[in-house]
Amino acid sequence: MAATENLVTQDPLGLQTFALTESAYDLMTSLIGIYERLLHLESERRTPNNEQISTWEGRLQQIHELYYRSDWATLTTLPEHISTLTQEYKQMSQQENEYVNAAHPRAKAVLPY
């Protein structure tokens, strides 16, 4: 609670609050999209890797839970979530690019990230 009060006094316009919540929201929704696209690509293969699918489904469920159970009002855990999710986003977007390029070899740099 003290962290929130301190943030309010140091950030009266709420810009830091806005930046933290939007960053966390954007990362979570982007990761949800990546995992859903990877699940779709993997399930459309001739021989889908069921172990990989279950791993991605589990992580997708964890991100959904994090999104819905995060305490957006206190902002105490958001910086930690942002740093963790940023690393995961970089890794998973690269993996998605590799999957797309493997599935469609003629489509180079299909995804912008």
Q: Per residue in 45-84, pLDDT tens?
A: 889 899 999 999 999 999 999 888 877 777 788 888 899 9
Burial 64-88 (b: 16+ CB within 10 A, else e): eebbeebeeeebeebeebbeebeeb
pLDDT above 70 (res 18):
yes
pLDDT above 70 (res 102):
yes
Between these two residues, 14 and 52, which has the higher pLDDT value?
A: 52
Between these two residues, 60 and 102, which has the higher pLDDT value?
A: 60
Between helices 78-103 and 15-43, what is the axis angle to 10°?
Answer: 30
Question: pTM (2 decimals)?
Answer: 0.78
